[in-house]
A and B are shown apart, each in its own frame.
Chain A
Amino acid sequence: MPVNPQPFAAIVGAENVVGAPSELRTYECDGLTGTRVTPALVVLPATTREVSRCVKLARDLGMPIVARGAGTGLSGGAVPSAGCLVVGLSRMKAILEIDVANERVRVQPGVVNLDVSRALAPLGYYYAPDPSSQSVCSIGGNVAENAGGAHCLKYGFTVNHALGATLVLADGSVTEIGGPVLDCLGYDLMAAVVGSEGMLGIVTEVWLRVLRLPEKTRTIFATFATTGQAGDAVSAIVARGIVPAAVEMMDGLAIEAIVSATGVDWPLDAGAALLIDVDGIAAEVEETAHETIALMTACGAIEVRSPHDDEQRALMWKGRKGAFAAMGRISPNYYVQDGVIPRKEIAAVLREIAELASTSGLRVANVFHAGDGNLHPLVLYDARVAGEEELAERVGGEILRICIDHGGSITGEHGVGLDKAVYMSELFTDDDLETMNMLRCAFDPERALNPGKVFPTPRLCGDRPGPFALTSFERDGVAGRG
């Protein structure tokens, strides 16, 4: 049923309402391009108040609401639900306050992650969580997904850096949670909101903790014959008490793709490579870099490079951060998986994934955050070949089961979204999920925000757990699973 855009236009201005079918197409999906749903309407508000008024109006009309940042999510988190209002935060791009003395900044949610660090660089500060998508993804999306990145090994994820927020709740009311002062009284609502995938509220302002740029950073690149050896090197470094800023691993196939896409001169015959940053005070960095190299050599490193010049370092990281996109050079299509395993299981799990790949007939490239056991197997396929896409998805699912079997998790940073909701019940019991739902219901009793995500089966907000019936909401297909 078409929605009258007029009342929304009265709030945000006609030019900030998207309703034409051809234009709505842009908002049909996120980075998980396989799943598409056309929203009823998209609004692009500029202020917290506009977000609040749009949300109220949408609720009066019985529309579900889906927040959207830059749309780079990889789990379908921002995929619209049928008949929904998409609240796009892309116009809310202001950095509102920089408080260097307290190492805090206040930003709007549409600010691009990298722009925070860019604004702070002249002051000698930066924002630590650095997803590979940092040049495009938004802070609001980072908060919703608890985004991580290569340098989160030492510095922590979004949840360790997002201190407070202004939140528009599902009923349109606005509340502050957390804030620039630590330990806001009461429950830590910010900890609950970070990683809640847009289901607890729409974040319209965020307080971030920022860090002093390290005095010195050394980047070390080393190749190995096998991923097993590279994994051993990671374990040895960690066991030595060294906490590198980042430890990234790439296997042979990933190296091949990166070389052909970015022109880095990495050796094509290596079975695996590690890209490591050690940073901190100058006096310590040299020593740690030295020891890191020694440990890698002892674990069988073939070639070690450790450039002193910043341009060389930047090039290496460009190679790593462009790894997903580089897959286009070696395969028409690829499916990015995101699973976590205990670090000590890396070698065993990579072996199992390789076996899975060879029995399935598909190739799987691996490029991942080895320091924290966060795998990103890239399942390569050709969508033009009948059945390959489904096969790739099945292989992706099997990879998650391997992660679960090894005591890990089905997602380390990309979120559950639509894509992985079905796997939640393999990781959690029904009671576990019910308890998470209690939190959701406290924020959004009508489950109007981002319905259909995260939870594998529909859940109501009764006073206590028990059997449920379909709401009129669900019967009419306005809101689905979740």
Chain B
Amino acid sequence: MTDRTLVPQTAAEAAASLQACANERTSLAFEGGGTHTIGRRDRDGVVLSTRGLRRIVEYVPEDQTVTVEAGVTFAELSRVLAERGQRLAVDVAEPDRSTIGGAIAANAFGPRRMRFGSFKDLILGVGLVRADGVPVRAGGKVVKNVAGFDLSKLMVGSHGTLALVTSATLRVHPLPQATRAVRLTGLAPDAVWELVLEMRSRHLEPVAVSALGRASASSRYDADVAFEGFPAGVDSQTACVFEIARERGWSVEAVDPASARDGDARARTAGPLRVRGTVLPSDFAAIDALAIAPLAACLDDPSVCAYPALGIFFVAGKPKMPQRAFDAVANARACIESGGGSLVVEDAPRMPAEIEPWGTPPPSIRLMREIKARFDPEGRIRSGAFVGGL
């Protein structure tokens, strides 16, 4: 099989492409904007790109729902939604390249997941093409629906190993009338967590808290807190954060919300080594000491970005000495997994074989293998690229 890239222009063409691959027993991988692919990139089979699937199929502003084809980019969708004062409340680092289908497959999210959830919470239905080329639908177009098993949520984070997502219906949100961001600088990791708890106890409802750090030995973070809503609400909440900071002697300033977002995106796209950790939120300070700081110390110009309320962090940078960095990844992973979390290597230059991207499969891997075997019995779609060889 020679390398080929297929670029279907409609869902029907995509189905025909998959059907043809099924007939020829060709392996294939799906590609959106190419910003989220984790793990092995298949070199031996066909690549099916969704970039031809670019229609916004149906937008119903009154219902706050939109149905789009998989290849629509975030930038494009945002533009259309903004015309009606709405948005898709998912942040991605590269909106011009990231496609909706790819982001669903990768379970992409940013700091505002704290308020709006992830794609799992926003996806209402999907159009799929199965490995055997059969087009199917699951879920629906209404915001509430329990008819049948909801396969759309199963597609979120499945990394293109179950079926091709050709379209999705998503819940969208109104653009906020007012946005404010506040930056608290130089916080130690336990102060970051204290900030989260203190805001909660005062009933503040930030849409995002992201802590950006240069986690050198001193492990200090700049925490950006964002509020969205109506002016009275965001102003009073911002004032409250200033008060929290004053009481504790933390330095605090109002910042442009856009700059807070940019810092976040920069930290998450730095490289070439990039890892993502997920832990119990209250473990953040301990994990910083045991896993984040030691790993960052092995990197030149490291960037660390954490969403402390979610228990999620990202570390990126250039390994000073590759082997040392890989050892630090392995140690961090062992430490995080022992607490029930996970560490995913999103990208790495020349990764040694013993560091695979995903880490130890969870106990339910047997069920996952059964699902994969039912959806892709011949193991042709990106097989082996996901957790535990799924």
Partner of A146, one of B85, B146, B368: B146
The answer to whether B138 touches A436, judged by C-beta atoms less than 8 angstroms apart, is yes
A408 to chain B, nearest CB (A): 5
B230 interfacial contact with A, CB 8 Å:
yes
The answer to whether A344 touches B63, judged by C-beta atoms less than 8 angstroms apart, is yes
The answer to whether A344 touches B147, judged by C-beta atoms less than 8 angstroms apart, is no
Which chain A residue has the least Cβ–Cβ distance from B197? A101
Which chain B residue has the least Cβ–Cβ distance from A213? B203
Scan residues 342-366 of chain B and give those whose CB is less than 8 A from a CB of chain A: 342, 344, 358-366
In whole angstroms, what is the CA distance A373 to B312 when docked? 34
Contacts of B173 in A (CB 8 A): 243
The answer to whether A183 touches B107, judged by C-beta atoms less than 8 angstroms apart, is yes
A residues lining the B interface (CB < 8 Å): 99, 101-102, 124, 145-146, 148, 152, 156-157, 159-160, 169, 175-177, 179-189, 191-192, 194-196, 212, 214-215, 235, 238-239, 241, 243, 280-284, 287-288, 340-344, 369, 372-374, 407-416, 420, 424, 427-429, 431-436, 438-443, 454, 463-465
Known A186-B361, A413-B146, A439-B371; judge A429-B137 contact (CB<8 A): yes
Counting residue pairs across A and B whose Cβ atoms lie within 8 Å, the total is 251
B52 to chain A, nearest CB (A): 23
The answer to whether A372 touches B144, judged by C-beta atoms less than 8 angstroms apart, is yes
The answer to whether A181 touches B342, judged by C-beta atoms less than 8 angstroms apart, is yes
The answer to whether A408 touches B149, judged by C-beta atoms less than 8 angstroms apart, is no
The answer to whether A438 touches B375, judged by C-beta atoms less than 8 angstroms apart, is yes
Q: How large is the interface on B (under 10, 10 to 19, 20 to 34, 35 or more residues)?
A: 35 or more
Contacts of A436 in B (CB 8 A): 138, 148-149, 151
The answer to whether B136 touches A432, judged by C-beta atoms less than 8 angstroms apart, is yes
The answer to whether B63 touches A180, judged by C-beta atoms less than 8 angstroms apart, is no
Contacts of B282 in A (CB 8 A): 99, 101-102
List 3 tightest A-B contacts by C-beta distance, closest first.
A284-B233, A241-B174, A191-B153
The answer to whether A185 touches B60, judged by C-beta atoms less than 8 angstroms apart, is no
The answer to whether B128 touches A435, judged by C-beta atoms less than 8 angstroms apart, is yes
The answer to whether A369 touches B203, judged by C-beta atoms less than 8 angstroms apart, is no
The answer to whether B142 touches A191, judged by C-beta atoms less than 8 angstroms apart, is no
Known A156-B117, A180-B340, A287-B232; judge A442-B370 contact (CB<8 A): yes
Which chain B residue has the least Cβ–Cβ distance from A156? B121
Known A284-B232, A439-B374; judge A427-B144 contact (CB<8 A): no
The answer to whether B367 touches A443, judged by C-beta atoms less than 8 angstroms apart, is yes
Q: Can you report 29 A-B residue pairs in the complex whose CB atoms are below 8 A from each other? A: A99-B282, A102-B281, A159-B150, A176-B364, A179-B340, A184-B362, A186-B362, A186-B368, A189-B368, A191-B120, A191-B153, A192-B151, A194-B150, A196-B149, A215-B203, A239-B61, A241-B176, A281-B203, A281-B233, A282-B203, A284-B236, A408-B142, A409-B142, A416-B146, A427-B140, A428-B137, A429-B136, A435-B130, A443-B367
The answer to whether B390 touches A410, judged by C-beta atoms less than 8 angstroms apart, is no
Known A179-B340, A281-B233; judge A409-B311 contact (CB<8 A): no
Partner of A185, one of B61, B197, B362: B362
Which chain A residue has the least Cβ–Cβ distance from B125? A409
Which chain B residue has the least Cβ–Cβ distance from A177? B364
Known A181-B342, A281-B204, A428-B137; judge A195-B149 contact (CB<8 A): yes
Cβ contacts B143-182/A at 8 Å (1 or 0 each): 1111111110110111000100000000001111100000
The answer to whether B145 touches A175, judged by C-beta atoms less than 8 angstroms apart, is no
Known A175-B366, A176-B363, A189-B367; judge A183-B146 contact (CB<8 A): no
B341 interfacial contact with A, CB 8 Å:
yes
Cβ contacts B318-341/A at 8 Å (1 or 0 each): 000000000000000000000111
